[in-house]
Amino acid sequence: MSLNSLIARLKNITLLSELLIFIINLATVYLITNYYSLEIYGVYILLITIASIFTDIIGVRSNELILYFVNKYKNDDCKNGIVFIVFGTDLVVGTIISISIYFLSSQICFFFHNQYLTVELVNNIALYAFFIYLKGSFLGLLQVNKLYFQIAAIKILESLLKFISIIFLIYNLQNKMDFLFHNTLLLNIISMMVIGFFIVFILFNRNIFDIKKAFVFNKINFKEFYSYVLNNFYSTILKSGNRQIDSILITKFASVYYLGMYDISKKLLSPISIITNTITITHNIKIIEFISQKQFIIKKFINNTNNKIIFLFIFYTILIVIFKSVINKTLNVNLDLIFFVLVSISVMFSQLMWWTRPFSISHNIKLSIVFNFYSTFYSFTVLTFLSYLFGNFGLVIGLIFIRVIMLFLWNSEIDKYLKHVV
């Protein structure tokens, strides 16, 4: 299969799967907000956020380890040894993540101080964090074997199972606390089923992983491997400041009600983000080609793409504003238009930086580490300060401010690069 046909297939699968997951997620919002409340939906999101916080800070990006090293040793039996080592590392790190959440559950509840967030719920989500962390290496193994349809199918199946479990709980439970408690248990069961499916699928496909050759390590450069792991870990820690901090601050300085509203706002924007992400799949490769060939048109190419992204966001945001009453009635919420527009602007600026990763990889990888540090620093200072003063509005204004600064800094770097090329 040629590269162009592979990219076209990937775009189609990604677009379809992400849109299906968007519909399932929106249906989930509808069920929880209509049968319980927006606040309960906010707690539901907070529990998932807690799991994600620990996997971001403590974990390493296992999928990247698989993609890099299995590709490197793809013609040798020791690729199975690499997979075995990464799986083993994931089990250890996942256990550390789960134990950390369990022993810090009281402090987590005290920090967020919400009547619905209990130690029992956080303890339940500790096991869920273990399972979602394990998914990283499994997804990486499917990616490196170009099994994109299987990846999409598993993601859709997982979302669908979660949705069905919520229908089951709503039908059988009226109490809000009972719903939250049993939902965390079902999240663990569903995640366990997904991991089980991964294991069975991989074990029955020797082209993906041959367990008989799991201990073949003869050609592996362990110094390079663990150096890559450590660098990946440091990069993840730096980048973790950009992830989940918005959910943490909006819960801490506003409430889980506004966390629910914030998450719904982002979910309503999902279709346009999905479309722009699909567009940039091919564009990422072009950026790398422009850098390798030292082509001057890279800036014009980025600007043209970004103009299309801006147009799409403006058009879609106007549509949401026009149909606000329909959305409010359907989802049983009171969507704040000013807040939604600010969230839309912040997401748009995030999407405008689509080109920064391929630019950094092909030009200077240290740029990503440096700018991740800047972004994390601004997030912990500016965002915290503005959220403390102005709550949820302070958060989104701060996000816009930080993303504008980061976009300016990245553009400065590409201008420096172009001067050097000329």
pLDDT of residue 273: 84
Alpha-carbon gap, residue 93 to 124, rounded angstroms:
18
Alpha-carbon gap, residue 306 to 384, rounded angstroms:
29
Domain end point (choices 240, 264, 297): 240
Co-location of 194 and 123 in the same domain = yes
Q: Is 294 left (phi over 0), alpha (psi -120 to 50) or beta?
A: left
The number of beta carbons lying within 10 Å of the beta carbon of residue 28 is 18
Co-location of 171 and 279 in the same domain = no
pLDDT tens for the chain, residues 1 to 422: 555 565 556 666 777 888 899 999 999 999 999 999 999 999 999 999 999 888 877 656 666 677 666 666 666 666 777 777 778 888 888 899 999 999 999 999 999 988 899 999 999 999 999 988 888 778 877 877 777 788 888 889 999 999 999 999 999 988 999 999 999 999 999 999 988 888 888 877 777 776 676 666 666 656 666 666 666 666 666 665 567 888 999 999 999 999 999 999 999 999 888 888 777 666 666 776 667 666 668 888 889 989 999 999 999 999 999 999 999 999 999 999 999 999 999 999 999 998 887 887 677 767 877 888 888 888 888 989 999 999 999 999 999 999 999 999 999 988 888 877 65
Alpha-carbon gap, residue 140 to 104, rounded angstroms:
30
Co-location of 270 and 130 in the same domain = no
The one-letter amino acid at 101: I
Alpha-carbon gap, residue 179 to 36, rounded angstroms:
9
For every residue of 86-141, DSSP letters joined together read HHHHHHHHHHHHHHHHHHTHHHHHHHH--TT--HHHHHHHHHHHHHHHHHHHHHHH
Alpha-carbon gap, residue 49 to 52, rounded angstroms:
5
Alpha-carbon gap, residue 31 to 307, rounded angstroms:
37
Which residue range(s) make up the domain with 69? Answer: 1-240
Residue 44 contacts residue 177 (beta carbons within 8 Å) = no
Residue 14 contacts residue 281 (beta carbons within 8 Å) = yes
Domain end point (choices 240, 255, 270): 240
pLDDT of residue 186: 94
Tokens representing 164? 């069905």
Co-location of 98 and 72 in the same domain = yes
| Of residues 101, 162, 97, the one with CA closest to residue 133 | 97
pLDDT of residue 397: 95
Co-location of 236 and 248 in the same domain = no
Co-location of 231 and 258 in the same domain = no
Domain end point (choices 206, 240, 274): 240
Alpha-carbon gap, residue 177 to 166, rounded angstroms:
14
Co-location of 36 and 129 in the same domain = yes
Residue 259 contacts residue 45 (beta carbons within 8 Å) = yes
Output DSSP code: residue 212. G
Co-location of 159 and 232 in the same domain = yes
Co-location of 249 and 232 in the same domain = no
Alpha-carbon torsion (90, 24, 20, 242), positive or negative: negative
Contacts of residue 9, Cβ cutoff 8 Å, sequence gap at least 6: 1, 148
Residue 89 contacts residue 62 (beta carbons within 8 Å) = yes
Q: Which residue has the tokens 């606040």?
A: 39
Alpha-carbon gap, residue 35 to 207, rounded angstroms:
47
Tokens representing 316? 């879609």
Total domain count, the chain:
2
Rounded to two decimals, what is the model's pTM?
Answer: 0.87
pLDDT of residue 145: 76
Co-location of 227 and 259 in the same domain = no
Co-location of 353 and 412 in the same domain = yes
